[in-house]
Amino acid sequence: MTTWGLVAAGGFFGAIARFAISRWLNFRAGSPWPWGTWLVNSSGSFLLGWLVGAEVNPNILMFAGVGFLGSYTTFSTLHWEAQQFAVKKEWSTMVLYLGVTYITGFLAAFVGLWMGSH
Amino acid sequence: MVYFWIGVGGIAGALLRYGLYLLMYQWTGPLFPWGTLAENWIGCFVLGWFNVWAHERLSLSPQLRTSLGTGLIGSFTTFSTFNVDTWELVMYGDKWLGLFYVLASFWGGILLAWVGWRLGLYLQRERLDLPQKGESP
């Protein structure tokens, strides 16, 4: 039961943090990029890698990892935004956005895992 | 106030994600993160449909819309777990499964976001009694 409570509490703050950052940075000042979504996905991948690498205690992992960072990062919005680029036939932006997000997320998770375990 | 409702959506999304993850883990075992893959696929499909559906619903308050789309569906899917799980597969499991996981997530996400979006448009035209795409009016 405690576990579910920790996941719920983390999810509450994770979603709010993602929304705040997205609202602040997405498509800002004429930029065609959802920089906010990119930032939450990259930083969240790094932080989760760090938590897992550091083998933090299970309660912290449930709250901060599964709850907060799970909700802070998003896969559906990423692909929805990419889909919107496709609708507007902005193919190069779509490929670049997906490519950059996947690559930075992958590398950020590795750096996090490495830093956490060293 | 909109922040609060996004948080509530986030609670529901996180609990559903955790619940489905546990269920799939029990069912398919620890070798492959089927739970997270299923969640990310489902979320892409549902968000594609939802955004079209909600766009037409002028009576739906912007708060409720963001609470469901950004809060619930956004939190139900996850990019951080996807990346950390990929590294765990590469380092401790089967690296080919890791590659499969990335490709399945990536192409599945693209395909399902598109299918959800098309379904939303199809249903919208049905409701409004408009000719479907490719159909002569």
Q: What is the ipTM of this complex?
A: 0.95
Structure tokens belonging to residue B5:
């409702």
pLDDT-based confidence at residue B75 (cuts at 50, 70, 90)? very high
Tens of pLDDT, residue by residue over A60-107, are: 999 999 999 999 999 999 999 999 999 999 999 999 999 999 999 999
Q: What is the phi/psi pair of residue B135, to 5°?
A: -100, 140
Domain-located, residue B133: no
Report the pLDDT averaged over residues B70-88.
97
Domain-located, residue B135: no
Domain-located, residue B84: yes
Kindly determine whether residue A109 and residue B83, on different chains, have CB atoms separated by under 8 Å: yes
The count of domains in chain B is 1
Tens of pLDDT, residue by residue over A2-38, are: 999 999 999 999 999 999 999 999 988 677 889 999 9
What are the residue boundaries of the structural domains of chain A, listed by start? 2-116
Structure tokens belonging to residue B43:
């979320």
Stretch 9-28 of chain A: residues touching chain B, C-beta under 8 Å: 9-16, 18-20, 22
Whether A72 has its CB under 8 Å from any CB of chain B: the answer is yes
Report the pLDDT averaged over residues B27-54.
96
A-B CB pairs within 8 A amount to 173
Helices (DSSP H) in chain B: which residue ranges? 2-28, 34-56, 62-66, 74-76, 80-92, 95-128
Three-state DSSP class for A1? coil
Domain-located, residue B136: no
Domain-located, residue B137: no
The secondary structure of residue B130, as a DSSP letter, is P
Domain-located, residue B12: yes
Compute the residue count for chain B: 137
Cα–Cα nearest to A83, from B85, B26, B87, B44: B44
Instruction: Tell me which residue range forms the domain holding B9.
Output: 2-128
Kindly determine whether residue B79 and residue A13, on different chains, have CB atoms separated by under 8 Å: no
